[in-house]
Amino acid sequence: MKGSRPMRLIAAPLLGLALWLAALLPLHAFEIEEVAGGFDHPWSLAFLPEGGFLVTERAGNLRRVSASGAVSPPLAGVPPVFAQGQGGLFEIALAPDFADSGTLFLSYAYGDADANGTALMRARLEGDRLDGAETIFRASPKSGAHHFGGRMAFLDDGTLLLTLGDGFAYRENAQTLGDHLGTIVRLAPDGTAPPDNPFADTPGARPEIWSFGHRNVQAVLVDPASGRVWINEHGPRGGDELDIVRPGGNHGWPLVSDGVDYAGARISPWGLERSAELGLVMPVHVWTPSIAPAGMTLYDGAAFPEWRGSLFVAALAGRAVHRLTLDDVRVTGEERLFTELGARIRDVRTGPDGFLYLLTDDSDGRLLRVRPAR
């Protein structure tokens, strides 16, 4: 460079700094816009192939949202749900062949305060109503109104994973196979247990069980590239987890946890470090204090190239979306996004347009779109 030596000593680093800042600035330049609002505790989101969305409200409604954000009245044909506490209408999942068949699945809480649990309904979307609705699976009942799980994902072979919970007061039942409490079940599209389920031939075990030792699983997704199944679940006070699940795995609740009971008492004599010794699956990542993870997506869109391969985890109590960078099965970094909303985030999904979509958990909940800044 021309100029005196002192000038060169200053100019070069300044130029380097300017270039570095220029590269850094567009990194997270996004804007958040509202697609639609006025939802009563929206829980789950599905993208319609022709554009637009389906949104569930926990109180028991399924609504259509047009691409421009017009919200329909509740669709007819949705089952009555047990909408108390954490119970209600949960996840909407479109069958892999939805574009041809119109088949969709809804998870929800059935029953009453004395005997309730998580159920799965299959139906066909016909315009503004559901036809041919039938309940194809009911998890074993419990009392109370907490810890239902309720998220769904499809495996490559067309079977469906449905996450459940331990019903809070029955946490030891997460370790037993004679009921569905504290498990993830794998079902055929008709709700029956596939014969190759890990406990299909175990005497006394429910054949639907795919993995167990869970507390309240609030997300499940399948990585299409690797086939890996990722979940997150709520710990008690502390101990929220991100896990990779394999058939037959025991995820340890309540034998080990990084959390303690809400009143401060221990869950068990052991911490997560004893997992291997006790034959339990270690989590990939733990959040203590709790963030209350909810919906989750593995981003593979084109709109945010720097976010490809990251896991986005909605957080309720944490009022954010956590972006986790991954190196195979290790979490290499974590950042909290969208905290400016100050909202409990119930769901985060990757849209077909490569944008991120969020649902806020509120009596006046919103469907939000995250897009690159224009």
Active-site residue set: 147
Residue 282 corresponds to which tokens in the numbers above? 């270690």
Specify the residue for token string 């007061």.
169
CB 289, min distance to another protein, A: 15
With 0-12 / 13-18 / 19 or more C-beta atoms within 10 angstroms meaning exposed / middle / buried, residue 209 is buried
CB 26, min distance to another protein, A: 46
Q: Which is nearer to another protein, 3 or 279 (CB)?
A: 279
Q: Which is nearer to another protein, 144 or 194 (CB)?
A: 144
Q: 176, 202, 288, 325: which one contacts another protein (CB under 8 A)?
A: 176
Residue 88 corresponds to which tokens in the numbers above? 């209600």
Q: 1, 22, 225, 263: which one contacts another protein (CB under 8 A)?
A: 263
293: preceding bond cis by omega (within 30 degrees) = no
Q: 217, 255, 291, 359: which one contacts another protein (CB under 8 A)?
A: 255
Residue 253 corresponds to which tokens in the numbers above? 């609740």
**Contact by Cβ (8 Å): 135, 107:** no
Instruction: Report which secondary-structure segment, H or E, holds 99.
Output: helix 98-101
Round to whole Å and give the CA distance between 169 and 100: 43
Q: 73, 203, 227, 269: which one contacts another protein (CB under 8 A)?
A: 269
Q: Which is nearer to another protein, 234 or 285 (CB)?
A: 234
Q: 145, 193, 291, 314: which one contacts another protein (CB under 8 A)?
A: 145
Q: Which is nearer to another protein, 174 or 367 (CB)?
A: 174
Residue 7 corresponds to which tokens in the numbers above? 């000038």
Size of the site for another protein (CB under 8 A): 26
Q: What is the largest CA-CA distance in the chain?
A: 86
Contact region with another protein (CB under 8 A), list: 26-34, 46-54, 214-222, 256-264: 256-264
302 forms part of the interface with another protein (CB under 8 A): no
CB 317, min distance to another protein, A: 16
Q: Which is nearer to another protein, 93 or 145 (CB)?
A: 145
Residues 195-224 that bind another protein (CB under 8 A): none
CA dihedral 84, 87, 89, 93 (to 10 degrees): 170
265 forms part of the interface with another protein (CB under 8 A): yes
Residue 111 corresponds to which tokens in the numbers above? 């029953």
Q: Is residue 36 classed as helix, strand or coil in its secondary structure?
A: strand
Residues 146-175 that bind another protein (CB under 8 A): 146, 168-169, 171-173, 175
Residues 64-93 that bind another protein (CB under 8 A): 85
CB 211, min distance to another protein, A: 16
φ, ψ (nearest 5 deg) of residue 23: -70, -30
Residue 327 corresponds to which tokens in the numbers above? 């190196």
Round to whole Å and give the CA distance between 124 and 102: 5
107 alpha carbon, distance to own chain's centre: 13
Q: Which is nearer to another protein, 72 or 176 (CB)?
A: 176
Q: Which is nearer to another protein, 191 or 239 (CB)?
A: 239
288 forms part of the interface with another protein (CB under 8 A): no
- Nearest C-alpha neighbor of 215 from the set 259, 286, 149, 279: 149
CB 288, min distance to another protein, A: 14
Q: Which is nearer to another protein, 54 or 267 (CB)?
A: 267
Residues 19-38 that bind another protein (CB under 8 A): none
- Nearest C-alpha neighbor of 343 from the set 2, 110, 37: 37
Residue 33 corresponds to which tokens in the numbers above? 């816009």
Round to whole Å and give the CA distance between 107 and 105: 7
Q: 136, 188, 200, 260: which one contacts another protein (CB under 8 A)?
A: 260
Residues 85-144 that bind another protein (CB under 8 A): 85, 113, 144
- Nearest C-alpha neighbor of 344 from the set 368, 362, 323: 362
**Contact by Cβ (8 Å): 130, 136:** no
- What does the binding site for another protein look like in residue numbers (CB under 8 A)? 85, 113, 144-146, 168-169, 171-173, 175-176, 254-255, 260-270, 278
